[in-house]
Amino acid sequence: MMDVILGALFELLTPERMMFMMLGVSVGLVIGVLPGLGGIAGLSLLLPFIYGMDPTSALAMLIGLVAVIPTSDTFSSILMGIPGSSASQATVLDGFPLAQKGEGARALSAAFFASMIGGFFGAIVLTASVLAARPIILLFGSAELFMLTLFGLSTVAALSGGNLAKGVASACLGLAFGMIGAAPATGEYRMDFDTLYLSDGVPLVIVGLGIFALPELFNLLRGGGAIAQHNPMGTGWIQGVKDVLKNPWLVLRCSGIGALIGAIPGIGGSVVDWIAYSHAMQTTKDTSQFGKGEIRGVIAPESANNATQGGALLPTLLFGIPGSGSMAIFLAGMILIGLQPGPAMADRNLDVTYTIIWSLAIANFVGTLLCIALAPGIAKLTTIRYALIAPFMIMVISFAAFQATRSVYDLMALFAVGILGLFLRRFGWSRPAFLIGFVLSLGAERYLYQAVQFSGWEFVTRPVALVILALTALSLWAGLRRSQSNVNTEGAADESRATSMLPQVAFTGLLLVFFGWVILEGLKNSYLAALMPVVVGSLGAAAVLLVLVFQARGATTAGTTNFDQEASATDNGPWPFVGWALGFLALTLLVGFFAALAMFFVAFLRVVARCGWVQTLLLTAAACGFLLILASSLNLIFPGGLLQEHYDLPWPLR
Amino acid sequence: MTIIGRRGLLGAAALGAALPARAQAPVDFAGRTIEFVIPFAEAGGSDVWARFLAPFLSRHLPGRPTVIIRNVPGGGSITGANDWAARARPDGSSIFGSSASTQLPFLLGDRRVRYDFAKWTPLIVSPTGGVVYVSSRTGISRTDQVAQLRGKELVFPSQGATGLDIVPILALHMLGLNVRYVFGMRGRGDARLALERGDASIDHQTTPAWLTQVVPMVQSGAAVPLFSYGVQDDDGKIVRDPSFPEIPTFEEVYKAMHGRDPAGQEYEAYLACSVAAFAGQKPAVLPKETPAPIIAAFRKAFQDAVADPELIARRGDILGDYRQAVGPAADRLYATATTIAPEAREWVRTFLTQNHNARF
């Protein structure tokens, strides 16, 4: 056993193989820093080079990339308030306020250090369990997976913001969005307006970017200044490491949660950070700082999301079942170099498995060091006027969005969800609750139906299912106990008591109409496909009605349902900038993405950022050049518009 | 759309003008980039298949052009196929990798389909195989005991009735077995796990997964193969699959159970779907209006590629032990995989609507 483990290490430690790993780590670092782009985009970049490579080098390169992304994606979550990838959405909630307070260094070093420990934890779990994991993974059938989705949904109680009814309604809204597309039980298409695009459902990356990144971007633009008003980094490097060391059990528990959820195929890593975050909330005595810059809210998701990768490798290697989108591409890479995952990975090909584990551990270590080394430089971005950064962010976010299906509909969906996110943020409807509902929606429906089909309603009495049910009850209790204590995921409540209730009531009314529509659309289907939309629609409508009743009683009696961030705003709100974004979209529909982007850059930099011509043209050229390099290495054709429909233009205008 | 039509006409005109004169310069792709369009995202069977073939195609095309993979995902491959059908220039600069998920909706008459296989020409068709197997918890331990399954309720974990699983659904229906389908599986891997766990009792897997994941279960006595879908021989007859010659084909099992060969509309429907999903599942195509010398150059390149010793040495699980159909064999397989008699289509649509809530 030991000789196989050490043999795999020496196998890996040749200059050539380490060089390939460093290549993977470097690409992962860059891709992770760019908001919205994660493991899927990074691995797609490397995939064309895999063929014909030495298998160990290829594995080291791919794993190097996978390992570093949950570490490097922290940069944009903490410094920009934009999730670097779907793995670190929860980090934004407390990481960004810390950066705005001038404690960016502390947040980053705590995040990196926690990430590294989480990564090591994942590698250790993988080492220890690769021989014994098969029966454990087999324990989780549809019944247990359904219970896990319930457990995930129970975190809504903790994440619902200041008002539980609003939290439940937000989660139902997310659940309803998640149901767009084919119903799991019958394959009927729901709420898809008969379009091919929506028949696949709205892609997760688009919902994540739209709901979190765009509203943040518009509001930062309003401020007119830079992100960090003071010294962006501060001197908290040591403090951050100390913070992690002060919370050893939190780090270990969250790493454990990450590795376990990652290892169970079917739930997906995209809720791990939220589960860890709400766990941190439930186990902290004083929750008053959550959402305002609580360091435990950074440590928890960051230790969990790196551990997830180690866990996710288990089903990928042992069963050939990818636990996440990036694992699916990793699997394709393995097949291309002639390795077929399966039981042999814990037996005949055990050396390959240990090569992968070592790569994971080493890449986590190297990745953390690189991130720390690069941090001061990258952090300088937060001192730059945001008007100069915003067009780059819009470029990267829309580029990341249209990675989803590579069509112009991705951009439309992005901006549509973005506007929804803007309202949710403004009126204090919990966006984390929305996202959790969205991610778990199809899973909950699918596994409930399958569990009942496989074992009847007795499925609830299966032992593992009972254990998860107990945990769910515990999480609900802990979450509800805290929900009274004013934990606001959407900003300070005290400044958001409006005197005019009209905008809020109008939005609440709109939500009520939406839930009514969900019920009607649901009823168009056969019983099995109608059940979930009708239940979710009714639940959502009930919660919204409750909110509406409170809000209708006037500004003061509305209590916690009264929340409007624009209550004391004196400017035009984010709308001028939304107009810019929509203008960019309209231009894309007209002349195609690339040309529209160049025009948008010039116009935005001249008008909003008030740059001189030289600076404008230089920045535009840099942006276009960067985009062209990325697109040509991914063999992408940009989404076209009317112009492209009528004329056959050369790439990149094609 | 109008532009494409004109381009198509131009291509056809060029073809008509070039052929009788025989004055056309030899096809040469030197310095060109050829895109291999795959209607799926990175990862997955079709993407891996195209990435594996691309360097060999490049090597054997005149002028050694660069061959890149272009992924156009969405709509379970319908989006990419619609897009390619509307946009591909008939000049050999773009070839399309079709798949079972592209062919089945076409055969079933899915209203979202805007492509027509009759307008394309196959260059190569890569077969794969599939095996239907049961858990030994059903009480049988040998393939020839299949008749003992009659009357027992079998549970089949399925991804959906209109996808790949339509093939076992039709086959098991014809065998007269009592199968309950649980839909909504996220992939064949999940389905296999459900069987291994004991939740399900019958399942099917394609060749690579069968060999690496299920054969160990067969060896340990946990699973029993029932039948394979077979492959098509030179006369178009279904014969045993070379990857597992010990497993009988569906046709053999049907004859053993019913005493006659399968026939009629239901068998016609089964055969079209089965070949579309397995024996003829991955064709690479060019638009038919592409000039003949270019089509010939591509067909020759694929012919040479599959004979390339390096390809044979490396094919592993990606191509498996299957004979890659090129030349006339490709035409024959392609025709079976992409055509269905109108009555058979009507029959299968009615069957799916009545039994599995499918809507078309």
Q: What is the pLDDT of residues A28-84, one digit of tens each?
A: 999 998 888 888 889 988 988 887 788 999 999 999 999 999 899 999 999 888 888
Higher per-residue confidence, B203 vs A88: B203
Q: Which residues 70-89 of B have a C-beta within 8 angstroms of A?
A: 70-76, 78-79, 82, 89
Q: Rounded to whole angstroms, what are the CA distances from B305 to A258, B90, B119, B123, B334?
A: 45, 22, 25, 12, 19
Question: Of residues A620 and A479, which shows the higher confidence score?
Answer: A620
Query: What are the φ/ψ torsions at residue A342 (nearest 5 degrees)?
Result: 160, -170
Tokens (6 digits) for A271: 């809720």
Structural element, H or E, at residue A189 = strand A189-190
CA triple A336-A341-A342, angle to 5 deg: 155
Query: What does the pLDDT average to over B271-281?
Result: 95
Please report, rounded to a whole number, the percentage of residues in chain B having pLDDT higher than 70: 93
* Mean local confidence (pLDDT), A308-335: 88
Cα dihedral A313/A319/A321/A327 (nearest 10):
20
Question: What is the average per-residue pLDDT within B53-62?
Answer: 96
Residue predicted with more confidence, A347 or A63: A63
Is the Cβ pair B52, A51 closer than 8 Å? yes
Residue A351: is its pLDDT beyond 50?
yes
Is a pLDDT exceeding 50 seen at residue B5? Answer: no
Fold of domain B130-274: D-Maltodextrin-Binding Protein; domain 2 (3.40.190)
Cα A18 from Cα A32, distance rounded (Å): 20
Tell me which of B300 and A345 has the higher pLDDT: B300
Determine the 3-state secondary structure of A45 from DSSP.
Answer: helix
Dihedral pair phi/psi, residue B67, rounded to 5°: -110, 120
Q: Looking at beta carbons, which residues of chain A come within 8 Å of B184?
A: 184-185, 446, 449-450
The CA distance from A135 to the nearest CA of chain B, in Å, is 9
DSSP 3-state of A618: helix
Distance CA A541, CA A522 (A): 14
Q: Please give the pLDDT value at position B21.
A: 40
CA distance A610 to A387: 9
What is chain B's mean pLDDT, rounded?
90
Picking from B129, B76, B123, the residue whose alpha carbon sits closest to that of residue B99 is: B76
Say whether pLDDT at B14 is over 80: no
Residues 6+ apart with CB under 8 A from A91: A74, A77, A78, A83, A111, A273, A298, A301, A302
pLDDT higher than 80, residue A496: no
For B145, other C-beta atoms within 10 Å of its C-beta total 14
Is residue A652 helix, strand or coil? coil
pLDDT of B8 reads 43
A200/B3 CB distance under 8 A:
no
The position carrying tokens 């929804």 is A420
Angle at A10 between CA A6 and CA A13, to 5 degrees: 135
Is the CB of residue B95 less than 8 Å from the CB of residue B37?
yes
* Three-class secondary structure assignment of chain B: CHHHHHHHHHHHHHHHHHHHHCCCCCCCCCCCEEEEEECCCCCCHHHHHHHHHHHHHHHHCCCCCEEEEEECCCHHHHHHHHHHHHHCCCCCCEEEECCHHHHHHHHHCCCCCCCCHHHEEEEEEECCCEEEEEEHHHCCCCHHHHHHHCCCEEEEECCCCCCCCHHHHHHHHHHCCEEEEECCCCCHHHHHHHHHHCCCCEEEEEHHHHHHHHHHHHHCCCEEEEEECCEECCCCCEECCCCCCCCCEHHHHHHHHHCCCCCHHHHHHHHHHHHHHHHCCEEEEEECCCCHHHHHHHHHHHHHHHHCHHHHHHCHHHHCCCCCEECHHHHHHHHHHHCCCHHHHHHHHHHHHHHHCCCC
Residues within 8 A of B (CB atoms), A 160-219 only: 182, 184-188, 196-197, 199-200
Q: What is the mean pLDDT of residues A308-327?
A: 87
Minimal CA separation from A380 to chain B, in Å:
35
CA distances from A321 to A315, A329, B96 (A): 5, 11, 27
Please judge whether A187 and B75 are an interchain contact, meaning their C-beta atoms are less than 8 angstroms apart. Answer: no
Confidence of residue B243 (pLDDT cuts 50, 70, 90): very high
Tokens of A67: 């390992």
CATH 3.40.190.10 positions along chain B are 130-274
Determine which of A49, A51, A134, A406 to mutate to test the interface with B (most B C-beta atoms within 10 Å): A406
Q: What integer pLDDT is reported at residue B22 of this predicted model? A: 44
Across the range A440-460, mean pLDDT stands at 91
- Asked if the C-beta of A460 comes within 8 angstroms of chain B's C-beta atoms, the answer is no
**Chain A residues 435-454 within an 8 A CB cutoff of chain B:** 446, 449-450, 453-454
In 3D space, the residue among A578, A584, A576, A583 whose CA is nearest the CA of residue A623 turns out to be: A584
Question: What's the pLDDT score for residue A132?
Answer: 83
* Chain B touched by A328 (CB under 8 Å): yes
Give the separation between CA A248 and CA A263, rounded to whole angstroms. Answer: 22
Q: Which residues of B touch A335 (CB under 8 A)?
A: 48, 208, 317-318
Cβ atoms A259, A125 nearer than 8 A = yes
Q: Do B48 and A185 touch (CB under 8 A)?
A: no
Non-local CB neighbours of A253 within 8 Å, separated by 6+ positions: A279
Q: Is the pLDDT of residue A604 over 90?
A: yes
Burial of A584 (0-12, 13-18, 19+ CB in 10 A): buried
* ipTM, two decimals: 0.87
Instruction: Choose among A537, A371, A534: nearest CA to A29.
Output: A371
Phi-psi region of A293 (alpha: psi -120 to 50; beta: other; left: phi over 0): left
Query: Residues with Cβ < 8 Å from A494, sequence gap 6 or more?
Result: none
Question: Which ranges in chain B are annotated with CATH 3.40.190.150?
Answer: 6-127+280-345
B304-332 tens-digit pLDDT: 999 999 999 988 888 999 999 999 999 99
Bridge-based pairing state of the strands B238-239 and A181-182: unpaired
Give the residue from A443, A354, A390, A261 showing the smallest Cα distance to A56: A354
Residue where the block lists tokens 């940069």: A75
- Please answer whether residues A498 and A564 qualify as being in contact, where contact means their C-beta atoms are separated by less than 8 angstroms: yes
Q: Chain B closest CA to A532's CA: distance in Å?
A: 14
C-alpha closest to that of B57 among B316, B314, B323, B305: B305
Report the 10 Å Cβ neighbour count for A440. Answer: 28
- Coil vs helix vs strand at A238: helix
**pLDDT of B114 higher than 60:** yes
Nearest to B47 by CA among A207, A168, A336, A383: A336
Question: Residue B20 pLDDT > 60, yes or no?
Answer: no
Q: What percent of chain A has pLDDT over 90?
A: 51
User: Which residues 132-171 of B are in CB contact (within 8 Å) with A?
Assistant: 155, 157, 160-162
Per-residue burial over B181-197, b = 16 or more CB atoms within 10 Å of its CB, e = otherwise: bbbbbebbbbbbbbbbb
Asked if omega into A652 is within 30° of 0 (cis), the reply is yes
Cβ <8 Å between A329 and B190: no
The β-bridge relationship of strands B33-38 and B66-71 is parallel
How far apart CA A612 and CA B142 sit, in angstroms, is: 81
Greatest Cα pair distance, chain A, in angstroms, is: 73
Kindly list the distances between the CA atom of residue A487 and the CA atoms of A150, A159, A492, in Å, as whole numbers in the listed order.
22, 8, 9
Alpha helix (H) ranges present in A209-349? 214-223, 237-246, 248-263, 272-282, 296-319, 325-336
Give CA–CA dist B212/B320, Å, rounded. Answer: 12
- CA distance, residue A133 to nearest chain B CA (Å): 13
Query: Is the domain B6-127+280-345 a CATH 3.40.190.150 member?
Result: yes
Phi, psi angles (nearest 5°) of residue B308: -65, 125
Name B224's Cβ contacts closer than 8 Å, sequence gap at least 6. B133, B134, B135, B136, B138, B140, B141, B142, B143, B145, B218
Pairing type for strands B231-232 and B33-38 reads unpaired
Which of A31-35, A144-148, A479-483, A627-631 bottoms out in mean pLDDT, i.e. has the lowest?
Answer: A479-483
Which of the pair, A488 or A4, is modelled with greater confidence?
Answer: A4
Give the SS3 label for residue A25. helix
